[in-house]
């Protein structure tokens, strides 16, 4: 039977809340407190982040190889359970080696949840001609970042960094019940023609290569801020040792961003909107390198929060619209390239920061990479405009 679109989207919101906001991004606000209490270097912090993204990369690759057209809802539930477990284990163990292992496996589950939830929900929304609702689902990442950013200081104050991991794992466990009740496989066949523009295979390959290049560079660049922004702000005297407010602002801005960018994408073109978005993000990333004032960090958080999930929303919607029968596979391929960039970014930033004793080089380099990612979209902007003219004719 056809699922209620409200139920589908709510399930997607909390699936991404669990696997992405907690399983993947909770490390960002907890990191400075872990560094302080467990006494490890910025170099190791970068490697620990990269272990998670290495797992994310492997998970995305597995998602390409393993057929995911059937029983996606069952696979989704299993991976969410493991996501909660690996988050819990971060608070129950103390060795650096075990942390690397748990973050690695957490990355695998995050990739699976993202690919499964995105493809399953995109397909069901497309059948009901409500593909524009996908922005609400991706807003779940922002909601999770916002709530976890508020909870982490309270948990750490009372239970230290271990309690923060355990507390967030408990929250994820409760939210998983909602996911299990709302996301189910849709066995109905589409009764209407999907709004797809036919593209010749050769042309299709060209646009995909440009998109993958841009998406991979975005993964490499954005993750530097996505990993270290709280740790960098924590070193700034104006925050008084409590810089998690920066992360809360990132989440707050991310909540409506996907819906807003979806609107701009459908009205002005997905690739033009994505290019503008990346240029805005590049400015947000470099701001703390230009000034260490709290104002620059807050503006950076606003620009970064308003854009980083918008990239995923626009890119996956554009790709899915051109591959409706293989959405899981194309999203998995995109996620793999994205994850490759994410895996490299924190390690390079951690080593560069340790060597220079400053985050300026890492942030400046990340901003440059995102700027180049925007330039890679120029051929796709022209491609999309040409498609629009063909549709009119």
Q: What is residue 249's predicted lDDT score, i.e. its pLDDT?
A: 95
Give the residue, 257 or 331, on which the prediction is more confident. Answer: 257
Segment holding 173, helix H or strand E: helix 134-182
> Could you give the percent of the chain with pLDDT greater than 90?
51
* Per-residue pLDDT band at 206 (split at 50, 70, 90): confident
Distance CA 234, CA 106 (A): 25
Q: Are 1 and 64 in contact (CB under 8 A)?
A: no
The mean per-residue pLDDT over the stretch 292-313 comes to 93
Tens digit of pLDDT for each residue in 121-171? 878 887 877 777 778 888 999 999 999 999 999 999 999 999 999 999 999
User: For 5-185+200-388, which CATH superfamily applies?
Assistant: MFS general substrate transporter like domains (1.20.1250.20)
Tens digit of pLDDT for each residue in 11-52? 999 999 999 999 989 999 999 999 889 888 888 998 998 899
Domain ranges of the chain: 5-185+200-388
pTM for the full model?
0.86
Tens digit of pLDDT for each residue in 49-65? 889 989 988 988 887 78
Q: What is residue 191's predicted lDDT score, i.e. its pLDDT?
A: 47
Whether the per-residue pLDDT at 189 is higher than 60: the answer is no
End-to-end Cα, the chain, rounded Å:
37
Distance CA 342, CA 53 (A): 6
Mean predicted lDDT score pLDDT of the chain: 86
Give the residue, 217 or 197, on which the prediction is more confident. Answer: 217
The mean per-residue pLDDT over the stretch 172-197 comes to 72
Q: Are 188 and 333 in contact (CB under 8 A)?
A: no
Residues 6+ apart with CB under 8 A from 75: 68, 112, 116
Q: Are 80 and 113 in contact (CB under 8 A)?
A: yes
């Amino acid at each position: 039977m056809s699922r209620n679109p409200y139920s589908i989207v709510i399930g997607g919101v909390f699936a991404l809340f669990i696997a992405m906001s907690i399983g993947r991004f909770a490390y960002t606000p907890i990191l400075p407190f872990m560094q302080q209490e467990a006494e490890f270097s910025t170099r190791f912090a970068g490697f620990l982040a990269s272990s998670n993204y290495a797992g994310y990369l492997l998970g995305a690759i597995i998602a390409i190889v393993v057929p995911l057209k059937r029983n996606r809802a069952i696979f989704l539930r299993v991976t969410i359970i493991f996501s909660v477990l690996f988050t819990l284990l971060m608070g129950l163990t103390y060795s650096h080696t075990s942390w690397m292992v748990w973050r690695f496996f957490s990355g695998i589950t995050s990739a699976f949840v993202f690919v499964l939830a995105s493809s399953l929900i995109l397909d069901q929304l497309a059948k009901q001609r409500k593909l524009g609702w996908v922005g609400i689902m991706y807003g779940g990442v922002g909601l999770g970042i916002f709530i976890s950013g508020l909870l982490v200081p309270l948990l750490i104050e009372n239970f230290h960094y271990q309690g923060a991991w355990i507390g967030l794992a408990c929250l994820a466990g409760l939210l998983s019940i909602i996911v299990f009740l709302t996301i189910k496989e849709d066995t109905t066949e589409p009764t209407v023609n999907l709004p797809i523009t036919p593209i010749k295979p050769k042309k299709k390959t060209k646009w995909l290569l440009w998109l993958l290049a841009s998406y991979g560079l975005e993964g490499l660049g954005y993750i530097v801020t996505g990993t270290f922004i709280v740790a960098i702000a924590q070193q700034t005297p104006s925050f008084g040792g409590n810089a998690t407010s920066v992360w809360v602002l990132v989440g707050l801005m991310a909540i409506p961003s996907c819906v807003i960018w979806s609107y701009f994408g459908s009205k002005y073109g997905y690739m033009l909107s994505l290019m503008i978005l990346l240029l805005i993000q590049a400015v947000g990333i470099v701001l703390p390198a230009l000034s260490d004032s709290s104002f620059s960090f807050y503006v950076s958080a606003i620009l970064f929060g308003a854009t980083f999930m918008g990239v995923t929303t626009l890119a996956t919607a554009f790709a899915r619209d051109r591959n409706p029968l293989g959405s899981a596979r194309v999203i998995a391929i995109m996620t793999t390239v994205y994850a490759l960039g994410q895996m490299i970014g924190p390690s390079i930033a951690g080593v560069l920061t340790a060597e220079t004793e400053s985050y300026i080089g890492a942030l400046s380099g990340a901003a440059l990479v995102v700027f180049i990612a925007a330039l890679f979209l120029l051929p796709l902007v022209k491609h999309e405009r040409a498609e629009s003219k063909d549709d009119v004719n």
